[in-house]
Amino acid sequence: MATRPLPKPAAERTLQKKYRQLAVDTKGRLDVSTEQGAQLSKLLHTYCAAFCNLYGTIPVRAAWDILRESEPALISEKKLLKKDFLAFTDILRAEMLPYYVLEIDELYSEEPAGKPIDREFVSKALVQHGQGRFSDYDMLLDAQADKPFCLMERDKLLAWADAQTFFRSPQAVRLRRFLDTLRVSKQCKNKDVHGDPIRGKQLNQFIFWSDSESFYYTHAKRDWERQMLAAEYNVTFSEKLMRRITRSIQLGSARVPMTQMLEWRVRELNEVGVLLTQDQFSELVRYMMEYNNRSHLWCNRGWTPEELSAATARTGAPEITFGPGIQAMIANGEMDKAELLREFAKRGFRVSDD
């Protein structure tokens, strides 16, 4: 278990001193007081942000390998050396960024101190407070296993420096639009966080806390826990669903199987007061499956599941099993089993009857 404190942003004066030392260590190649050095620093920042947004986590040595392939001219003309990039990661450790550059002994307390090449880029979205802070990171590593990193054309890769790139795909837009426009039943008696009725409203028109969310917030013992929960809960209901679906598919089925994720989302919709018709449920399944299968996912090291399947020549349809929640909805007539089987089959899944 990791116990070392995580790196914190340095004061501006300290950071300037580090940049001056970087200029010396790289013999001016990364001297940000010059136009060329500033441009190279900006380019490296862009690449590192893209790596974290596309892969979630990546070893520094793998990041360097991808950088070499993406910028052959810089490397061949010796405008950027491997030792320059490693020195640059020292700067990243001292800056306020949406990701960490962590030493191996910061990730694993039992590991001895490593070299700069042993560092890891880790999205801050994978790091929690308190005990088990790297549990999502560990699960992601399990899901990534030995999958190859997805290598993109230079400009496509750099576009991933913008974290919103993930949500601009057609499948993400379709799922968000579907969730936004679902409506609460007109007979629903639930109220939003301001005490106003939500009956008949679209899911993008109100903020709603479930009983369990209110319980977790009320019983949180630390300020940072309450702040974290409030940040998660105080968004429109459709945005909250979108974020949860996204996190589940990013971390992979090793964490949450697709059928389990579907059960949870239907349960949340029922709790807020949305009663899906059979057609709406089929649409939800279709949009979630498209979002999963055609998105560039952390658990696949940037590949979409469809791309990875083709790249690794996997044969046979993946198998899933209906959980107790979906089985209960089928039993009481809320869902049509035949329609559900057809929908999953169209998405390339085989449902086990076990």
Those residues whose C-beta lies under 8 Å from the C-beta of residue 344, and which sit 6 or more positions away, are 285, 289, 320, 350, 351
Instruction: Report d(CA 296, CA 54) in Å as an integer.
Output: 7
Those residues whose C-beta lies under 8 Å from the C-beta of residue 81, and which sit 6 or more positions away, are 26, 29
The strand pair at 99-102 and 57-59 is best described as unpaired
How many domains are there within the chain? 2
The strand pair at 350-352 and 319-321 is best described as parallel
Whether 203 and 277 share a structural domain: yes
Which amino acid is residue 117, in one-letter code? Answer: I
* CB of 87 closer than 8 Å to CB of 103: no
* CB of 287 closer than 8 Å to CB of 171: yes
Whether 328 and 274 share a structural domain: yes
pLDDT tens-digit profile, the chain (354 residues) = 456 788 999 999 999 999 999 999 999 999 999 999 999 999 999 999 999 999 999 999 999 999 999 999 999 999 999 999 999 999 999 999 999 999 999 998 888 888 999 999 999 999 987 678 899 999 999 999 889 999 999 999 999 999 999 999 999 999 999 999 999 999 999 999 999 999 999 999 999 999 999 999 999 888 878 888 899 999 999 999 999 999 999 998 655 677 888 899 999 999 999 999 999 999 999 999 999 999 999 999 999 998 988 877 654 445 555 555 566 666 666 666 666 666 555 445 555 554
102: β partners: 120
Instruction: Report d(CA 304, CA 292) in Å as an integer.
Output: 8
* Final residue belonging to a domain, choices 159, 189, 213: 159
Instruction: Report d(CA 278, CA 119) in Å as an integer.
Output: 49
Total-model pTM: 0.83
Does 4 fall in a domain? no
Four-residue CA torsion sign, 33, 35, 40, 41: positive
Backbone angles phi, psi at 197, to 5 degrees: -60, 145
Whether 130 and 209 share a structural domain: no
Those residues whose C-beta lies under 8 Å from the C-beta of residue 293, and which sit 6 or more positions away, are 304, 305, 306, 347, 348
Whether 138 and 226 share a structural domain: no
Does 5 fall in a domain? no
Whether 85 and 180 share a structural domain: no
Q: At what angle do helices 223-233 and 237-251 cross, to 10 degrees?
A: 110
202: β partners: 183
Domain limits for position 253: 169-352
